[in-house]
Each structure stands twice: as structure tokens, then as C-alpha cells.
Amino acid sequence: MATSPRQSDLLPITHTRIGIWDLYEKRGHGLPRRSDLSILKTFVQIRNDTPYVVRMFKEILNIRRNRMLIPAFLVVRVLDSLIPAVSLWYDGQLLRLVETMMETPTVDTTVVIHVAVGRVACAVASHLLGHIQRRIEIPINMSIKQFYASDIFHSVVRLDIPTFTDSAVQKQFNSATNQRTMGISPAWEVFRRLASLATTTTSMLSQLFILFTVLRRQQDGPLLVILGFSQSMLGWYMTQPSRDTFPGMGVWAATTTNNDYIRMQGLSMLGYDYSHRKEIVAGNLGEYIASQFRESAQRVGDGAADFDEAYEAHSMRPFPSISSFLRETMHELPEIAFMLSVVRKPTTVPLSFISLALIGHTSNSFISTHVSQSGLFHLAAAFAGVRNMYELKNVRNKVVDGTERFPENQQSLSSGISVEFRNVSFQYPDKERYALRNVSFRIEASQLCVIVGGNGSGKSTILKLISRIYDPTEGTILIDNRDIKTLRLADLRAAISILFQDYTHFPLSIRENIGLGNPGLAQDYDKIREAAKMGGSRDFIEELPEGFDTYIDRPVDDYYADSPEGVAIDYSDVRNVGGLRTSNVSDLSGGQNQRLAVSRTFMRSLVTDKESSAGMLLFDEPSASLDPTAENDLFENLRKLKGTKTMIFSTHRFGNLTRHADLILYMDESVQEQGTHDELLGKGGEYARIWNLQAKPFL
């Protein structure tokens, strides 16, 4: 494990090699190192986040189910926290019994029975309270999660792409949802931690009180108490904050350039992810992948660790700290004091022995408490989780909403929308290369425009800019002669329908997959069937056993018993009786998938009494996997819409479509050629060359 700090004066960034990982740290900037966070700073953070927590308390106490459950939970916690003190009190009775025995050698059996029954009752009560606590806690957590689920979902679902993909925002919603706390809502996490803090304090104080009452009259009692607790106090002071968010330092990033490790991860995804299974089976790749994985794994050797694991191994001290030795030695002090007292006064052995046991018992329960520095950091993190939960809705989208209504007159949509690019250039976030450079063109309302060009020439990017998925880096886009940025986003997107090249199917029923093409009509089954017909998907959907209610990819998995090692389980009986599916995936062909996507787009072209349809349809390679009949039907259906909608197609294919276009843009980062089919052929440029190569021979 080599460490090679490399620091330049300009950039105070250190580079540390940890196994296969390269860690880059920017010290003295940005966030402080976790261990530098003083308790004071943590308190300040907790204080700043307190208003959010207060608001959360009010809200969760207002949930009907919780009005009874939360007070019940608190009562149970407080009762539970008092049991150790009661138990200690019984121990004290035992001590007094021994004391009396030493003075008068008689045993009061009622006291013995009393103590025994008391101890048993404490154990039973503790078990019972623990059980009740768990029974109450689960429904509280479920109702709190449910209470916040819709708001959190709304905060996330409204984010645009540049904001959604921003890693800082991702981090915020991981903290606000339950990623860190494994299914426990951040709100309940804070509540639990605060309740635990309060009840631990009650428990400690009540035990201390009983201990001092019991041992007050013992000769060595106070000394043993002090020695016993010095160890736990020292432990409390020296507890290091646990390293749950490694490395807990300022601004840092870690990467690996180990090709074998990267390959291992890639092969692993290839093997485990369903989406590659077809190719693995058909290509007979299983054995090959496994052998490649083994080879890469052998080359990486023991260094094949996740960064967390590698960092933990790297940051562990070679030897335990002096303070930890000190703490452990302190543990022995009460015993040493006890032995000394035995040597001095052998007659007090039984008494000192019992005192020692009492102190040991209490100080051990102190050690296991959460009242420590790391507890405080966890509390601060839980408070921050609640703040993030509320603040998520204030995350500003990077694509800023406009204020003007569009269109001013809904009827105008029925004759299409004009679009103009003026010197538009665009770089994707964090990319140096321009996807579009100085692009200018104008498409009049209700025209048909076809954008052609090679892979990566910027065709899809133009469509993304028209629907404001992104904003141009430079230049202006005009929609119906108005700056696109001034228009209300919701209006703009309602007026445009777009079919992406990399469309996805939603993990919902086919009916909703099509219906969501037009949320205003998503419940209108007749319109959905009409759109399915126009997109060429109705026939095959109706043949599916569950028709329009079919889930292409069911989002909820069934659960199955784990098979004990080496035992093959036959699930068929339980499956048959329960009607469980053997697979969650209804495979459709590439063309069928595309027809579904086209049907979704057609939803927008359907008009209702209530709302007018979209004025512009954007298609990114709509016919790539359609058979010739389906392609022909699609273009027929689209042609019917001509004159009522502006339509823009991005495609590699030069054929029927380009011949009917009012405007063809031939792209290669910028517009290389533009005009009608005849004009471009007349020019004899690149368009003409590719047309002659690709389409002409088939006409």
C-alpha cells in the first residue's frame, strides 16, 4: 500500500494511493475534516436544523395513527429505562442482607424471596417492554414514511435532467429518502435518537442515584464508584466518531485506473443484469465471461476491494492508541482497589465483593449507552436528513421556468408552431466538446422538417433543445417568434410531443404506458385504444393474455423461500395455488416496443373537447425497428396530420420522408446544408452524395 503525497503550490491537492484506488483530497478548502468538527460546531449545526425538526415533530404527531402510538412509545421507553435502576435497587437489598448477616448470623428469607421475585419481574418486564416497543415502532415508522413519501416523490419527480443528474442533488435526496438508514424514515430516525438520548440519560441518572444511596454507607463504596466510572467517562471522552461516511474529510474524490478491476466490475454487471441475458445465452458467452472474470480477479489479487473497504484497511492504525491502552487498564482499577481492601480488612470481603459487582454492572451499562461523541455526530446527521427532506422541494431546476403563457390562443396550435434557431451552440454539462456549433435555421408552422446526418452529428440534441430538456450554451431559440426561455415550461411541453430514440417503457401497465403520452387523456380508454391503433400496436396488445393491463416489466418482485445450501427447491405447487408468475418480464419484439412508443406519441395528436392537441411533433428515429408495413402506416398516419402540426424528424434514412420534407437539415455539428430535397440534390453536396448512395438504388 504505497502512499505518495504529491502537492503543488497552486493546487493544494494530495494524491494517495490506496490499493487500486487513487484518492485526491483538497485540504483546507470546502468541508472540514470530520474529526476536526468540534462538538461545538456540531451543536451549532443541530441548532440550525432544529426548526426543521420542530416542524417535523408537529407533523408526525398530527398523523392520526401516531397520536396514540407515539406517546405510548415514549411511556414504554421511559419505563424500560428505569428497569436497570429498579434491578440495582434489588441488588442493594441483597447487599444490605449480607451486611445484616455479618452482624447477626440469621437470614431473613422474606427479603431473599422479595429480591428474587423482584429480579425476575424486572427481567420479564424488560423483555415485555422491548417487545411492545418493537410492535409500536414498526407502524409508526411505516406511517411516517407514507406521510412524507408523496412530498419527497413530488420534490424529486419535478426535477429537470441537468438538476437530477447533479451529484450534489442526488446526495441530498439520498439523505432525505431512506438510503442511509435502511428503510427507516429520517424523521423517525431523529425521533428515535432523541428518545434514546432522553431515556439513556434517565437510565443513567436513576442508576447513579440508586448506586449512591446503596453504597453511601460502605467504607470503600465511593472509591470503587469513582474508579469504576472513571473508565467509562474516559471511554466517553475518547470515543472517536465512527467512520460511517468515510473518509470524512474535505473535498475529495477517488478513482481507479486498474483495468482488471474495472473489467471485473463490467463482467459482473454483464452476468447479473437481466438486460444482457439474451445475448449471453444466444452468444454462448457464459463460460467465456466466467473465465475472463476469474483471470481478471487473479490479476487484481487481494487488492480487489471497494473504495470503502480499501480506505478502512488503509486508515486503520498499525497499533492501538495509547489512550485505548489507558482505557483498558482503567478497567482493572476497581478490582485492584478491591484486592487492596481485602488485604487491609479481610472481614469486609463479601460486602466489597457485592459493591464491586454493582459498580461493574452499572458502569457496563454506561459503556453501552449512546451518549458519546459519535452519538452526537449521528444525531447531527439525522437532523441534517430531516432538513434535506424539507429542503428538497426548494432545489431549483437549472432550466428556469418562463412566465408567459403559450400559446396565447389555444386554437393557434391547430395550425402548428414555428421554430427558429439563431446561432445556437450547445455543450452537454461537463463536456468540453460542442454537440452543436452555431446552428441557425427556421421551420415555419405546420412544415415537415427532416434532420439527417451521421451518428453523433447533433440531430437528437436539436430536439432536446426545442423541448427545453437543456438550454443552449449560446444563441437563442424562438418558438412562434418568442424567446423559448420566456414561455412557461408546462405550456411549452404541453404544446410539443416528442418520441425519443432511447425511449423507455414505464414500469406500468400498457394502458398507462400509452395513456401517459397525454396525461389529460390518460384515463380515457377509448382514446388509448385509438392511439394504439394509429401507432400500430392495438392488434398485438389485444392478443396478450392481460391485454392493455399487461405489465411489460412488473415492478414488484414476488418473494421466495431461500434454498438451503445445495438443495433445489420446487416452487411449482405454491406458485400454482397462488397464481404467481414464473417471470416478471413480458418480452416484446423491438418493433412491438417501438409501436408502443409511437402509440404514446400519437396520444398527443388526439383532440378532446377540453384541450387542444400538441402543435408540434418531434420524432427521433421513429421507424428504426419498424417493418415496412408499419413504417408505411406510420408515415400515412403522420401525413394525415400534415398542415395541422409542425413535424420534425431526426433520421439516418434518406427516403420517402426526405422527399416530402419542406426543409431538410444536413447536420454535422453545425448545419452543413439546408433546403428541400430537390434543392439539395441540385447542389450536389454531401446530401446528394449520400442520397445517391443510400436511397436512390431502392427507388
Ligand X SMILES: Nc1ncnc2c1ncn2[C@@H]1O[C@H](COP(=O)(O)OP(=O)(O)OP(=O)(O)O)[C@@H](O)[C@H]1O
Determine how many CB atoms are found less than 10 A away from the CB of residue 418.
Answer: 19
The 3-state DSSP class for residue 447 equals coil
Concatenated DSSP letters of 458-490? SHHHHHHHHTTSS--SEEEEEETTEEGGGB-HH
459 binds ligand X (CB under 6 A): yes
Query: Closer CB to ligand X, residue 310 or residue 648?
Result: 648
C-alpha grid cell, residue 688? 446528394
For ligand X, which residue of 92, 407, 453, 675 counts as binding (CB under 6 A)?
Answer: 453
x/- mask, ligand X, residues 647-666, rule CB under 6 A, reads: ---x-x--------------
Total site size for ligand X, rule CB under 6 A: 14
CA 501: distance to chain centroid?
A: 26
Per CB under 6 A, contacts with ligand X among 116-155 are none
* Rounded Cα–Cα distance for residues 352 and 222 (Å): 11
Which part of the chain contacts ligand X (CB under 6 A), choosing from 130-138, 276-284, 451-459, 477-485? Answer: 451-459
Which part of the chain contacts ligand X (CB under 6 A), choosing from 192-200, 384-392, 455-463, 547-555? Answer: 455-463
591 binds ligand X (CB under 6 A): no
71 binds ligand X (CB under 6 A): no
Residue 153 C-beta: closest distance to ligand X, Å:
24
64 binds ligand X (CB under 6 A): no
C-alpha grid cell, residue 133? 416497543
457 binds ligand X (CB under 6 A): yes
Residue 463 C-beta: closest distance to ligand X, Å:
8
Concatenated DSSP letters of 88-109? HHHHHHHHHHHHHHHHS----H
431 binds ligand X (CB under 6 A): yes
* Rounded Cα–Cα distance for residues 402 and 47 (Å): 37
Residue 653: CB partners within 8 Å, gap ≥ 6? 623, 694, 695
For ligand X, which residue of 456, 519, 547, 684 counts as binding (CB under 6 A)?
Answer: 456
Residue 581 C-beta: closest distance to ligand X, Å:
35
For ligand X, which residue of 175, 461, 497, 613 counts as binding (CB under 6 A)?
Answer: 461
Residue 460 C-beta: closest distance to ligand X, Å:
3
Residue 402: CB partners within 8 Å, gap ≥ 6? 484, 485, 486, 487, 488, 489, 492
Report the run of H or E that residue 153 belongs to, with start and end.
Answer: helix 109-157
Which part of the chain contacts ligand X (CB under 6 A), choosing from 19-27, 35-43, 454-462, 549-557? Answer: 454-462
Q: How many CA atoms lie within 13 A of 542 on its CB side?
A: 9
Q: Cell numbers 391485454 label which residue?
A: 547
Residue 429 C-beta: closest distance to ligand X, Å:
7
694 binds ligand X (CB under 6 A): no
511 binds ligand X (CB under 6 A): no
Are 294 and 261 in contact by the 8 Å Cβ rule? The answer is no
Query: Closer CB to ligand X, residue 155 or residue 460?
Result: 460
428 binds ligand X (CB under 6 A): yes
Residue 657 C-beta: closest distance to ligand X, Å:
15
CA 511: distance to chain centroid?
A: 28
* Rounded Cα–Cα distance for residues 666 and 661 (Å): 12
For ligand X, which residue of 267, 435, 552, 665 counts as binding (CB under 6 A)?
Answer: 435
For ligand X, which residue of 458, 515, 535, 591 counts as binding (CB under 6 A)?
Answer: 458
Are 244 and 377 in contact by the 8 Å Cβ rule? The answer is no
Are 486 and 577 in contact by the 8 Å Cβ rule? The answer is no
For ligand X, which residue of 104, 284, 409, 455 counts as binding (CB under 6 A)?
Answer: 455
CA 74: distance to chain centroid?
A: 31
Query: Closer CB to ligand X, residue 388 or residue 650?
Result: 650
Residue 501 C-beta: closest distance to ligand X, Å:
6
* Rounded Cα–Cα distance for residues 630 and 594 (Å): 10
Are 544 and 550 in contact by the 8 Å Cβ rule? The answer is yes
Residue 534 C-beta: closest distance to ligand X, Å:
25
Residue 474 C-beta: closest distance to ligand X, Å:
16
CA 229: distance to chain centroid?
A: 43
In whole angstroms, how large is the CA radius of gyration of the chain?
36
Are 11 and 27 in contact by the 8 Å Cβ rule? The answer is no
Are 181 and 385 in contact by the 8 Å Cβ rule? The answer is yes
Residue 642 C-beta: closest distance to ligand X, Å:
24
Which part of the chain contacts ligand X (CB under 6 A), choosing from 98-106, 456-464, 578-586, 598-606? Answer: 456-464
For ligand X, which residue of 218, 460, 594, 601 counts as binding (CB under 6 A)?
Answer: 460
Which part of the chain contacts ligand X (CB under 6 A), choosing from 145-153, 230-238, 328-336, 449-457? Answer: 449-457
Q: Which residues bind ligand X (CB under 6 A)?
A: 428, 431, 435, 453, 455-461, 501, 650, 652
